[in-house]
Amino acid sequence: MLRSSVIGQLAFVSLLVLSLLMSFTTPVAAAEPQEVTELFPKTLSAAIAFSFAVISAGFGIARAGSAGLAAAAERPEIRTTAIIVAAFAEALAIYGIVIAFFILGT
């Protein structure tokens, strides 16, 4: 019973997010097309900036998270510090997407 309830809620949230995303794509589809030569360098540089940020954030989270969990197994009071250190590595991905939006916005 609980499983079908969770699946129903997940389906509802998924449809809600999909409908919101579709409402944002209409103005984009109605916009005038740009030249490919003018759009390609911006898109490529934003993709490179974001991909490097996400890859390095994933590497940092993997290293800090595994070391933090190992340390927390021995000393439970370190757990909060380990989570904060992993959050700093996660912030790198957020900075990467902000820079990608700045690149695409200019």
Cβ of 77: how many Cβ atoms within 10 Å?
A: 8
pLDDT digits (tens, 9 = 90+) for 20-75: 777 777 666 676 766 666 778 888 899 999 999 999 999 998 999 899 989 999 99
Convert the pLDDT of each residue in 67-92 to its tens digit: 998 999 999 999 999 989 888 988 98
Comparing CA positions, the residue from 100, 70, 99 lying closest to residue 85 is 70
| Claim: this prediction has a pTM higher than 0.75 | no
Residues ≥6 apart with Cβ < 8 Å to 81 = 68
Is the model more confident about 17 or about 81?
81
**Domain spans, the chain:** 1-31, 35-105
Q: Give the pLDDT of residue 74.
A: 93
The correct answer on CATH 3.40.50.2000 for the domain covering 35-105 is no
- Report the C-alpha dihedral over residues 40, 46, 47, 53, rounded to 10 degrees: 170
